[in-house]
């Protein structure tokens, strides 16, 4: 316990320097969707790891963004805790809605603003600083620690599987802490035990070789209409996905999982108020809404583009129409299965001419709620925050967790130092400095508790 008190004292004494390190990382753009600043950010992450005291390497494939790896061995135990993080961020658009620059790292009212502040650079720096605090005060870490810092998480991590397969000796561990998490509005720590899978696709319909005067509409096929009819063949107004066999492999939540879902605080009025909604889809409410959010697969139109969308009118038949969709999948669905069923469904529905492009995809994955590692993290979180942890059997989000859970069987829990108003993926993304420092102490405590279980 004396070691932990010294570690906490170091964190408090150096909190300003910790914040400056995070600001430095936020100021380095790293937009994987555009390839902007990726190499520079990977090198900066490696530099920060080396300054912490880790042995590092940048894993670079012929294609794809580099993965930054770091590790430090403990002199006390053979147990290993692996942290999965990512240094890439979402595009900052719409730029005009940012109060300060999206990569400024500006501090206002106790918050650090900038793309990546919460997702995921804040958690990455927090974990590095927890390790540093042990090394500076104790001279050792309680357990072996490994960092895998992805450069493509925001675009589906298409090359991470290859990195892991080609460097298997680097990724051995006893348990994994995933990249995201934080506290709810009441300050309760939230633990996420899994992720939905995702399949992202583009559907494109071609018509004439050029836009045509709409006076010719009786003769010229309209790709925009055809796209609308095709989308209607995928999902109906009851939110039912019409692809044949789509629900065949859906695994219902267990009794234990439903028990934890019942215990999750769900302030639906606050949710609707924040989103400006009078009601949720299908008038869902209460635990029914929460269960749908966590346990149901979905199909979402991310964007549609066709024809003229500027001011006034322009009377044309557009030459092309395109929609981007994502399917959120639950255990035991897979992107490969659903993509094949989508292709067959559209062909059987008379849309053989549609060009279907598959983008990033990940399988769903989750750790059982009764796993010993889950209980360790939950107890540590309660000690760190003074409030009982809220356990989510699965998150509605997606990521490459399956590469560690499904392939290697590691128990995985996602926790972090974010907060409910972090604006992740939106303008004015931010991280509370208080949450950042408290989260660093939580990780320091977890390193100690994990070493003793």
Cα dist from 308 to 54, 303, 312, 318, 349, whole Å: 54, 15, 10, 8, 28
> Quick one: 47 and 158 in the same domain?
yes
Q: Which domain holds residue 58?
A: 2-193+367-451
Beta bridge partners of 317: 212
Predicted pLDDT at 360: 78
Residues of the chain with pLDDT under 70: 1-2
| Residue position matching structure tokens 């490969």 | 336
> Quick one: 353 and 306 in the same domain?
yes
Phi/psi-derived region of residue 38, left when phi > 0, alpha when psi is between -120 and 50, beta in every other case: alpha
Distance (Å, whole) CA 372 – CA 148: 23
**What is the domain-level CATH number for residue 156?**
3.40.630.10
In a domain, 121, yes or no: yes
Cβ neighbors of 290 (< 8 A, separation 6 or more) are 261, 264, 266
pTM given for the model: 0.92
Predicted pLDDT at 1: 59
Predicted pLDDT at 156: 86
In a domain, 273, yes or no: no
Cα dist from 117 to 74, 162, 241, 295, whole Å: 29, 28, 36, 29
In a domain, 56, yes or no: yes
CA 174 to chain centre: 22
Predicted pLDDT at 274: 84
Cβ atoms of residues 380 and 449 within 8 Å: yes
> Quick one: 101 and 128 in the same domain?
yes
Instruction: For the beta carbon of residue 296, count every other beta carbon within 10 angstroms.
Output: 16
Retrieve residue 27's tokens.
């100021």
Distance (Å, whole) CA 113 – CA 425: 12
In a domain, 257, yes or no: no
Cβ atoms of residues 342 and 203 within 8 Å: no
Sign of the four-CA dihedral 388, 389, 391, 396: positive
If residue 206 lies in a helix (H) or strand (E), which one and from where to where?
A: strand 194-206
Predicted pLDDT at 73: 97
> Quick one: 342 and 372 in the same domain?
no
Distance (Å, whole) CA 410 – CA 173: 7
Retrieve residue 88's tokens.
């890439």
Predicted pLDDT at 271: 87
> Quick one: 202 and 179 in the same domain?
no
Residue 65, judged by CB atoms within 10 A of its CB (0-12, 13-18, 19+), counts as buried
pLDDT one-digit tens code per residue, 7-59:
999 999 999 999 999 999 999 999 999 999 999 999 999 999 999 999 999 99
> Quick one: 340 and 405 in the same domain?
no
Provide the 3-class DSSP secondary structure of residue 136: helix
**What is the domain-level CATH number for residue 350?**
3.30.70.360
Q: 355-362 and 194-206 as β-strands: parallel, antiparallel, unpaired?
A: antiparallel
> Quick one: 68 and 23 in the same domain?
yes
Q: 175-178 and 355-362 as β-strands: parallel, antiparallel, unpaired?
A: unpaired
Of 109, 132, 123, give the one whose Cα is nearest residue 436: 123
Residue 451, judged by CB atoms within 10 A of its CB (0-12, 13-18, 19+), counts as middle
> Quick one: 188 and 112 in the same domain?
yes
Distance (Å, whole) CA 84 – CA 86: 7
pLDDT one-digit tens code per residue, 114-147:
999 999 999 999 999 999 999 999 999 999 999 9
> Quick one: 172 and 304 in the same domain?
no
């Amino acid at each position: 316990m004396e070691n932990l008190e010294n570690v906490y004292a170091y964190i408090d004494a150096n909190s300003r320097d910790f914040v400056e390190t995070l600001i430095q990382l936020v100021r380095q753009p790293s937009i994987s969707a555009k390839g902007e600043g990726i190499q520079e950010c990977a090198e900066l992450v490696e530099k920060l790891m080396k300054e912490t005291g880790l042995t590092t390497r940048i894993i670079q494939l012929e294609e794809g963004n580099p993965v930054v790896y770091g590790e430090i061995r403990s002199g006390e135990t053979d147990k290993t805790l692996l942290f999965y993080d990512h240094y890439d961020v979402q595009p900052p658009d719409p730029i005009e809605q940012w109060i300060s620059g999206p990569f400024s790292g500006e501090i206002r009212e106790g918050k650090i603003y900038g793309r990546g502040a919460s997702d995921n650079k804040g958690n990455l720096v927090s974990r590095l600083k927890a390790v540093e605090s042990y090394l500076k005060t104790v001279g050792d870490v309680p357990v072996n620690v490994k960092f895998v810092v992805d450069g493509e998480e925001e675009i589906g991590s298409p090359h991470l599987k290859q990195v892991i397969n080609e460097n298997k000796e680097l990724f051995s561990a006893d348990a994994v802490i995933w990249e995201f998490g934080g506290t709810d509005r009441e300050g309760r720590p939230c633990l996420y035990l899994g992720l939905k899978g995702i399949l992202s696709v583009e559907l494109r319909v071609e018509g004439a070789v050029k836009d045509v005067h709409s006076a010719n509409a009786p003769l010229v096929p309209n790709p925009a209409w055809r796209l609308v009819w095709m989308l209607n063949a995928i999902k109906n107004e009851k939110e039912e996905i019409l692809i044949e066999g789509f629900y065949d492999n859906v695994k219902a939540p267990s009794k234990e999982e439903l028990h934890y879902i019942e215990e999750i605080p769900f302030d639906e009025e606050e949710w609707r108020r924040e989103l400006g909604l009078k009601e949720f889809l299908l008038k869902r409410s209460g635990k029914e809404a929460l269960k749908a959010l966590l346990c149901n697969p979905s199909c979402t139109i991310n964007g549609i583009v066709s024809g003229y969308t500027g001011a006034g009118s322009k009377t044309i038949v557009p030459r092309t129409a395109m929609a981007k969709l994502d399917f959120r999948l639950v255990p035991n669905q897979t992107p490969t299965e659903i993509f094949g069923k989508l292709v067959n469904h559209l062909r059987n529905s008379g849309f053989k001419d549609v060009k279907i492009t598959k983008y990033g995809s990940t399988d769903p994955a989750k750790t059982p709620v009764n796993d010993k590692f889950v209980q360790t993290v939950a107890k540590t979180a309660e000690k760190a925050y003074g409030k009982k942890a809220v356990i989510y059997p699965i998150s509605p989000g997606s990521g490459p967790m399956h590469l560690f859970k499904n392939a290697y069987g590691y128990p995985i829990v996602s926790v972090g130092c974010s907060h409910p108003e972090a604006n992740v993926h939106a303008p004015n993304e931010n991280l509370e400095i208080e949450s950042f420092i408290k989260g660093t102490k939580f990780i320091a405590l977890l390193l100690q508790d994990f070493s003793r279980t």
